[in-house]
């Protein structure tokens, strides 16, 4: 009887040991969790969707290659329905679910509520494409990043390029006051243009609203200038930006138009038929002529995975977001947020698909990532060349406090 009992006990002990060993092994192989608190419906979906699809592509590539540190990556999406309140609850829910990386919407206002939840729980949180430096240490907190460049550097890059490569001397700035993003792009443009050509090289400023049905008054002012400028910088976004470009050209103003990155991609060019002499700083070309072959491969891979080319060139930011975090996880040897954060904060021109990427403990947004300058020709955007701005925005300019 006692023999039976001790055998039983031994078996139970062995079984328990075996079970616990098995559990440890499972814990090691527990998949990495990435949570997306993004808009899958509502207007923001159109801006969150393309980078999200590209992010999924990168996750699948990593899994196919054996996972991250041998662990598979799983992801979960909670729809914020383009509402700030839902962004907060979606973020909190994903944090609760124990995600290792939280990805939030492409906009500071709509991404920050979710990001705050992630930052509070000390989880690395990255925005798909917010262009506001507040999506970082100073705004959300030390664990928040954005995959995009600061809006200021879009304005800086095209200003420098226009002065140095296109030989333009004077500019006129038409600023869309609807959202902060445009104001930041315009602030960057002005700072860089003045830096290169002096205060007097900006011949004037005017403002409009994205939903203005007409900018006739602004065009009249531009045409009434005593000397016409060499270029007009329009900081806006569609549809208002497209409407402005159409009205400027229809009024017979054939000056070169410089614009910010939000005006990239062909979808709006119908508004301004025959448009030319239009330049901006872009992430990449969707039209097969990017000077970087890896970008053209990215478009092909996207077609293979989603049976269509990316709807927007902002997609590449989502792909590189996963790249950036995954690289740090590999380096840190695990998903521990503090260790990953330490690695990410030391990035200095770290090469990723979207371009060299740098972070510091103070700044979690790009200010001098090389841009692909693009121009419009024959009803399509065309790649011109890669250009890296040499003037970088100061902290004051980035947060638009003082000048």
Contact positions vs other proteins (CB under 8 A): 42-46, 82, 177, 205-209, 211-214, 216-221, 223-224, 238-240, 242-243, 246-247, 250-252, 266-273, 311
Q: State the alpha helices, DSSP H only, in 198-314.
A: 216-223, 240-250, 293-306
Give the max Cα distance, the chain: 111
Residue with smaller CB distance to other proteins, 120 or 207: 207
Please tell me whether residue 372 adopts helix, strand or coil conformation.
strand
Helix (H) or strand (E) holding 323: helix 315-332
* Residue 195, beta-bridge partner list: none
Residue with smaller CB distance to other proteins, 23 or 216: 216
Cα torsion 15, 17, 18, 20: sign: positive
Cβ pair 210, 175 in contact under 8 A: no
Q: How far is the CB of 243 from other proteins (least distance, A)?
A: 4
Residue with smaller CB distance to other proteins, 2 or 227: 227
* Closest to 344 (Cα-Cα) out of 366, 359, 331: 359
Helix (H) or strand (E) holding 159: helix 151-164
Q: How far is the CB of 244 from other proteins (least distance, A)?
A: 9
* Closest to 326 (Cα-Cα) out of 36, 119, 25, 71: 71
Q: How far is the CB of 394 from other proteins (least distance, A)?
A: 23
Q: How far is the CB of 303 from other proteins (least distance, A)?
A: 16
Count how many Cα atoms sit within 13 Å of the Cα of residue 77 in the half-sphere of its side chain. 15
Q: How far is the CB of 237 from other proteins (least distance, A)?
A: 9
Q: Is the peptide bond before 239 cis (omega within 30 degrees of 0)?
A: yes
Pairing of strands 231-235, 202-208: unpaired
Residue with smaller CB distance to other proteins, 22 or 214: 214
Query: What end-to-end distance do the CA atoms of the chain give, in Å?
Result: 89
> CB within 8 A of 112, min separation 6: which ones?
87, 104, 134, 135, 139, 140
Q: How far is the CB of 305 from other proteins (least distance, A)?
A: 18
Region class of 17: left (phi > 0), else alpha (psi between -120 and 50), else beta? alpha
List, as one string, the DSSP characters of 341-355.
HHHHTT-SSB--TT-
Residue with smaller CB distance to other proteins, 213 or 293: 213
Q: How far is the CB of 250 from other proteins (least distance, A)?
A: 4
* Closest to 193 (Cα-Cα) out of 154, 169, 155, 159: 159
Residue with smaller CB distance to other proteins, 201 or 271: 271
Residue with smaller CB distance to other proteins, 12 or 216: 216
Helix (H) or strand (E) holding 37: strand 32-38
Q: How far is the CB of 372 from other proteins (least distance, A)?
A: 20
Residue with smaller CB distance to other proteins, 235 or 365: 235
Q: How far is the CB of 401 from other proteins (least distance, A)?
A: 18
Residue with smaller CB distance to other proteins, 166 or 253: 253
Residue with smaller CB distance to other proteins, 141 or 204: 204
Helix (H) or strand (E) holding 230: none
Q: How far is the CB of 145 from other proteins (least distance, A)?
A: 26
Residue with smaller CB distance to other proteins, 120 or 210: 210
Please tell me whether residue 313 adopts helix, strand or coil conformation.
coil
Q: How far is the CB of 264 from other proteins (least distance, A)?
A: 13
> CB within 8 A of 349, min separation 6: which ones?
356, 357, 358
């Amino acid at each position: 009887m006692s023999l039976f009992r001790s055998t039983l006990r031994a078996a139970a002990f062995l079984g328990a040991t075996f079970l616990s060993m098995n559990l440890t092994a499972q814990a090691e192989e527990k998949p990495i969790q990435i949570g997306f608190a993004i808009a899958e419906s509502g207007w923001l979906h159109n801006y969150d969707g393309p980078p999200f699809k590209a992010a999924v592509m990168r996750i699948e590539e990593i899994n196919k290659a054996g996972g991250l540190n041998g662990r598979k990556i799983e992801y979960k999406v909670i729809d914020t329905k383009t509402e700030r309140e839902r962004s907060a609850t979606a973020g909190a829910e994903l944090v609760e679910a124990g995600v290792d990386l939280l990805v939030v919407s492409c906009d500071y206002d709509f991404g920050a509520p979710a990001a705050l939840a992630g930052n509070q729980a000390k989880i690395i949180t990255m925005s798909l494409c917010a262009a506001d430096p507040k999506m970082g240490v100073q705004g959300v907190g030390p664990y928040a990043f954005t995959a995009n460049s600061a809006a200021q550097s879009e304005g800086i890059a095209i200003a420098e390029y226009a002065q140095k490569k296109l030989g333009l001397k004077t500019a006129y700035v038409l600023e869309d006051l609807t959202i902060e993003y445009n104001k930041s792009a315009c602030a960057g443009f002005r700072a860089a243009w003045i830096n290169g050509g002096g205060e007097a090289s900006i011949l004037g400023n005017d403002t409009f609203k994205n939903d203005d049905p007409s900018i006739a008054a602004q065009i009249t002012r531009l045409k009434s200038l005593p000397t016409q400028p060499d270029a007009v910088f329009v900081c806006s976004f569609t549809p208002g930006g497209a409407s402005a470009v159409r009205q400027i050209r229809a009024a017979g103003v054939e000056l070169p138009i410089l614009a910010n990155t939000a005006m990239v991609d062909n979808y709006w060019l119908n508004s301004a038929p025959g448009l030319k002499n239009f330049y901006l700083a872009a992430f990449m070309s969707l039209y097969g002529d990017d000077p970087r072959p890896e970008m053209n491969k990215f478009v092909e891979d996207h077609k293979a995975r989603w049976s269509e080319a990316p709807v927007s060139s902002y997609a590449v930011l989502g792909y590189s977001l996963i790249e950036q975090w995954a690289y740090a996880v590999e380096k840190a040897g695990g998903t521990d947020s503090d260790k990953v954060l330490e690695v990410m904060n030391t990035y200095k021109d770290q090469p990723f698909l979207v371009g060299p990427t740098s972070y510091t403990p103070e700044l979690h947004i790009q200010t001098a990532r090389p841009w692909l300058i693009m121009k419009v020709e024959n009803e399509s955007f065309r790649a011109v060349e890669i250009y890296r701005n040499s003037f970088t925005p100061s902290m004051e300019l980035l947060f638009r406090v003082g000048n």
